[in-house]
Structures are given as C-alpha cells and as structure tokens.
Amino acid sequence: MGGFITLWDENGTLIYISEAVEQLLGYMVSDLLGKKWYELIPSEDASHIRQHLDTAQHINQVFNINVQNIYSKNIWTENLVTGIQDEQGNRYYISATKDITDKKEAEEMMIRSEKMSVAGQLAAGIAHEIRNPLTSLKGFLQLLQAGVNRKDAYHKIMVDEIEKMESITSELLFISKPMTEHKEMESLSEMIEDVVTLLKPQARLKSIEILMGQEINQDVKCDRSQIKQVFINILKNAIEAMNDPGCIKISSHLRKEEILIDMIDEGPGIPEEVIHKLGEPFFTTKQNGTGLGLMISQQILERHEGKLEILQNVNTGSTFRVILPLP
C-alpha cells in the first residue's frame, strides 16, 4: 500500500510533494509542483473538498478520491487533510495520501454479493406477484379469442397488468446493476416508491402492509442507486423482522439542515444490548442473515454525509432512521 505527502498554499498551489508520488501515480515531482491540486482530480470531488476546507473550523478530514495515474488507470486514494498556519498567519494544507484500491475492490465485491443475495431472497415474492397478472392476461386473451365484445375495456386492463409486471421486474433488475459514484439531485419520494414497489410482494406473502405517510416533495443530492440500496436493505430487514401480520410505516420530516426518513416496523424489537453491534460485519440477529446489509448501508450513508440511527419503539418494534443532509 503506497502513499505520499502533499503540501499546498491557500490558493491551492502545490508547493511540496514527496517523491513517493512517482511510485503510486507515476508522475515526477517536477511535473506537479506549481500546479493547482484541484486541477488534478475530478471536478465534483474538487468542489466537495473545497467546500469543506472553506467551512470547517478544525481541519482534519478524510476524503476518498478516485484518481487516474499517468497510465490512465483509476486508483482509489484515502486523503487525510489537515490545515496548518505559519507564524505570519499564512494558511497551508497538508495531505497524507494512501492507496486503498484493494480495500475498495473488496468492498465492492462484498456489495455485489449482498445485492445478489437480496435479489434471490425476493424472488419468491416477485414470482407470486407476477403469476397473478399472467393468469389475468391469459383469461382475457381467451375471452378475446372467444369473440367477446368488450375489447377496449379488456385491452386497458391487460395493459395495466403488463405495466405492473414491468415495474416489478425493472426494480428487480436494478438490484443487480453495479453501484455508481455519481451524485445528482433526486426525488426522495420517487426513490421510496420504487423500493416499495419492489418489496410489496415479499410483504404480502407475510400479510404485511407498507404504509407511506405524508410525502415531503424534497430532492436530495445523492447517488440514486446507492440510496435506493439503503432503503431496500432497511425495508427488507423490517419485513423479515415481523413474524405476525401488521404494517410498516414510512415517514419523513425535516430537521434543521437534514431530512429524516423513518421506517417503523411492528416486529419484536432489538434488545438494547445489541443495537450498537448492528452494522458490524457478519453480526446479525437473523438465522439466515449475513450481517452485511446494515454495514453496507452505513458505508453508503457516510459517503453521503448522512447516518443511520436505530431506535426502540415505545410499544413494539424498531425505527430505522436514515438521515441525509439537505442540498
């Protein structure tokens, strides 16, 4: 695992780079000195880092950046950035950069494995959900073959049934897609509705109703595939936690500069002594669980400057609260 040290002034001009940069990125020190650090990394990462360096009072932060070496190969780096000041009051920033590509690849492999596991576990409910409209379509086709007169009405019902199957299958296919690292403004209510569409079949198998509270028409800056993965993991856990028929409520509300999304189940609840262990790799309270779903969710939320809180309900069940910053 290689690494190097970088020093730049408050204008962003690189004034020192350790020679180890050549080993990691292939560049000579002379190639980089005098350049602006933010010209050497993706513009979205540069904007994010500059914003935090400008607003933080005590600079000691970690940024994960995907950079290209001299051969155009992508390398994941972890950068610990600290602000320093000289006797004349001039401000500088020093960064310790290390290669975390192997760690990132291991994380991505684990995420892919968990996503495929989730898809397999949802398959039974989805197969049941698709069988019903298929039976309906077959019946209407037989009526049309028999020469019934209500063709227009039957056509509309058949299109509705096909669209229902399309929405379910498209969400299932979404799970298998690799997660990206691309953040845009996304509708929170649309992401939640997509996830509910995917998980309703599994909930119906256990006579569980998913209720959505009053919507907040709020957009958040996020990677759509990653945040939907968080909601899938949490809602799936809530369904599996409930042994009896009941309901899961999804609500959201604003708090200062944050939006809170609560998923409230009616399961047995989580013992106080194990709440802090949830999210640790391979720790699970489920017989067939991997313990990776919540860990992956927490990692995703950290990348979005958000977090996950787990609360005990007063009467029964648990509340999983996703907290995301407002744009």
Domains of the chain, start order: 3-99 (3.30.450.20), 105-325 (3.30.565.10)
Say if residue 292's pLDDT is above 70: no
Lowest mean pLDDT among 35-39, 139-143, 275-279, 308-312: 275-279
In sequence order, the β-bridge partners of residue 84 are 92
Per-residue pLDDT tens for 162-200?
877 776 776 666 666 666 667 889 999 889 988 888 888
- Extract the runs of DSSP E, i.e. beta strands, from the chain: 3-9, 14-17, 60-68, 74-85, 91-99, 184-187, 208-212, 219-222, 246-255, 258-264, 307-312, 318-325
For residues 33 and 21, the answer to whether their CB atoms sit within 8 Å is no
Q: Looking at per-residue confidence, does 58 or 184 come out higher?
A: 184
C-alpha distances in Å from residue 78, one per residue of 19, 222, 318: 18, 20, 35
Percent of the chain with pLDDT over 70: 76
Whether pLDDT at 312 is above 90: no
The pLDDT value recorded for residue 324 is: 94
pLDDT tens by residue, 96-111: 999 888 887 777 777 6
For residue 6, the model assigns a pLDDT of 92
Give residue 279's pLDDT.
Answer: 46
pLDDT tens track for 236-260: 888 888 888 999 999 988 888 899 9
Distances 157 to 98, 169, 287 between C-alpha atoms, Å: 58, 19, 41
CB–CB of 225/179 below 8 Å?
A: yes
Q: Average model confidence (pLDDT) for the chain?
A: 79
CA distances from 88 to 54, 84, 85, 92, 299 (A): 20, 12, 8, 12, 40
Confidence band of 267 (pLDDT split at 50, 70, 90): confident
Q: What integer pLDDT is reported at residue 249 of this predicted model?
A: 93
Residues of the chain above pLDDT 90, percent:
15
pLDDT(130) > 90: no
- Mean pLDDT check: name the lowest of 24-33, 123-132, 158-167: 123-132
| Region of poorest pLDDT, from 85-89, 281-285, 292-296 | 281-285
Sign of the torsion formed by the C-alpha atoms of 238, 176, 116 and 291: negative
pLDDT at 63: 85
